[in-house]
Chains A and B, each alone.
Chain A
Amino acid sequence: MNSKKFTGIDIIKYLSLLIGVFVVLFPPYVIIVNSFKSSDEFNTASTMALPDSFLNFDNFKIVFERGGLLTGFTNTLIIICIALIFNIIFGTMVAYVLGRFTFKLKKAVFGAYLFATVIPSITTQVATFGIIKQLGLYNTLGAPIILYIGADVIQIILYLQFIRNIPVDLDENAMAEGASLFRIYRSIIFPLLTPATATLVILKSISIYNDMYTPYLYMPKQSLGVVTTVLMRFQGVNIADWNLISAAILLILLPTVILYFVLQKYIFEGVTSGAVK
Chain B
Amino acid sequence: MFGTLSYKTQKNIIIFSFLLIPVALLLLFTYYPALKLVWFSFTDWDGYSPEKPWVGLDNYKEVFSNPDIFGVFTHNFAYFVMGIVQNIVAIYFAVLLNGRLRGRNVFRLLLFLPYIMNGVAVAFMFGYVFDTTQGSLNLLLQAVGLTSLGETSWLGTPGLVNYSLASTGLWRFMGYNMVIYIASLQAIPRDIYEAAKIDGANAWQTFWRITLPNMKPVIQLNLFLTVTGALEVFDLPFVLTKGGPAGASQTYVQRVVETAFAYNHYGLASAMSIILLFFVIIVVGLQQFVLSRGGSGK
Residues of A near any B CB (own CB < 8 A): 13, 16-17, 20-21, 23-28, 30-31, 34, 46-48, 90, 93-94, 96-97, 101, 103, 109, 112-113, 116, 118-131, 146-147, 149-151, 153, 156, 175, 178-183, 185, 206, 209-210, 212-213, 217, 227-228, 231-232, 235, 242, 245-246, 249, 252-253, 256-257, 259-261, 264, 267-268, 271-272, 275-277
Which chain B residue has the least Cβ–Cβ distance from A156? B22
Contact partner of A119 (CB less than 8 A), chosen from B14, B28, B221, B277, is B277
Contact partner of B19 (CB less than 8 A), chosen from A94, A175, A267, is A94
Q: B129 contacts A257, CB within 8 Å?
A: no
Contact partner of B232 (CB less than 8 A), chosen from A122, A245, A253, is A122
Would you mind naming 9 contact pairs between A and B with Cβ atoms under 8 Å apart? A24-B113, A126-B37, A127-B33, A127-B34, A179-B3, A182-B14, A213-B235, A227-B118, A267-B116
Chain B residues lying within 8 Å of A21, measured Cβ to Cβ, are 107, 110-111
Chain B residues lying within 8 Å of A13, measured Cβ to Cβ, are 96, 101
Chain B residues lying within 8 Å of A118, measured Cβ to Cβ, are 280-281, 284
Contact partner of A181 (CB less than 8 A), chosen from B11, B29, B93, B139, is B11
Q: What CA separation (Å) do A180 and B11 show in the bound complex?
A: 10
Other than the given A123-B253, A212-B239, A227-B118, 5 more pairs (CB < 8 A) read A119-B277, A120-B232, A122-B234, A125-B273, A181-B14
Q: Does B92 contact A (CB under 8 A)?
A: yes
Chain B interface mostly:
helix
Contact partner of A17 (CB less than 8 A), chosen from B18, B93, B135, is B93
Chain B 34-70, CB within 8 Å of chain A: the 1/0 string?
Answer: 1011001000000000000000000000000000000
Contact partner of B33 (CB less than 8 A), chosen from A47, A131, A261, is A131
Q: B235 contacts A212, CB within 8 Å?
A: yes
Q: A28 contacts B125, CB within 8 Å?
A: yes
Contact partner of B110 (CB less than 8 A), chosen from A24, A175, A268, is A24
**CB within 8 Å for A246 and B114 given contacts A113-B26, A272-B180:** no
**CB within 8 Å for A116 and B280 given contacts A27-B171, A125-B257:** no
Contact partner of B269 (CB less than 8 A), chosen from A126, A131, A232, A245, is A126
Q: Does B195 contact A (CB under 8 A)?
A: no
Q: A17 contacts B107, CB within 8 Å?
A: yes
- Chain B proximity of A251: nearest CB distance (Å): 9
In B1-45, the 8 Å CB interface with A consists of 2-3, 5, 7, 10-11, 14-15, 18-19, 21-23, 25-26, 28-34, 36-37, 40
Interface centre among B89, B117, B235 (most CB of A within 10 A): B117
Q: What CA separation (Å) do A261 and B110 show in the bound complex?
A: 10
- Chain B proximity of A238: nearest CB distance (Å): 11
Interface centre among A97, A178, A257 (most CB of B within 10 A): A97
Chain A residues lying within 8 Å of B221, measured Cβ to Cβ, are 277
Chain B 200-234, CB within 8 Å of chain A: the 1/0 string?
Answer: 00000000000000000010010000001000101
- Chain B proximity of A167: nearest CB distance (Å): 19
**CB within 8 Å for A101 and B232 given contacts A94-B22, A109-B23, A130-B36:** no
**CB within 8 Å for A276 and B183 given contacts A30-B129, A127-B270, A130-B36:** yes
Chain B residues lying within 8 Å of A150, measured Cβ to Cβ, are 25-26, 28-30
Residue pairs across A and B with CB atoms within 8 Å: the count is: 243
Q: A119 contacts B30, CB within 8 Å?
A: yes
Q: What CA separation (Å) do A123 and B38 show in the bound complex?
A: 11
- Chain B proximity of A79: nearest CB distance (Å): 14
Q: Does B136 contact A (CB under 8 A)?
A: yes
Q: What CA separation (Å) do A56 and B81 show in the bound complex?
A: 42
Q: B14 contacts A34, CB within 8 Å?
A: no
**CB within 8 Å for A109 and B19 given contacts A119-B30, A130-B36, A242-B128:** yes
Closest 3 A-B residue pairs measured CB to CB? A150-B25, A180-B3, A127-B33
**CB within 8 Å for A31 and B2 given contacts A124-B273, A151-B29, A276-B180:** no
Q: B125 contacts A31, CB within 8 Å?
A: yes
**CB within 8 Å for A180 and B239 given contacts A30-B129, A256-B117:** no
Q: What CA separation (Å) do A124 and B179 show in the bound complex?
A: 31
Contact partner of B37 (CB less than 8 A), chosen from A127, A185, A228, A275, is A127
Q: B22 contacts A90, CB within 8 Å?
A: yes
Which chain A residue has the least Cβ–Cβ distance from B1? A180
Q: A175 contacts B7, CB within 8 Å?
A: yes
Q: What CA separation (Å) do A169 and B134 show in the bound complex?
A: 66
Q: B31 contacts A253, CB within 8 Å?
A: no
Which chain B residue has the least Cβ–Cβ distance from A147? B29
- Chain B proximity of A7: nearest CB distance (Å): 11
Q: Does B121 contact A (CB under 8 A)?
A: yes
**CB within 8 Å for A120 and B3 given contacts A24-B171, A90-B21, A127-B37:** no
Chain A residues lying within 8 Å of B25, measured Cβ to Cβ, are 90, 146, 149-151
Q: A178 contacts B101, CB within 8 Å?
A: no
Q: Does B256 contact A (CB under 8 A)?
A: yes
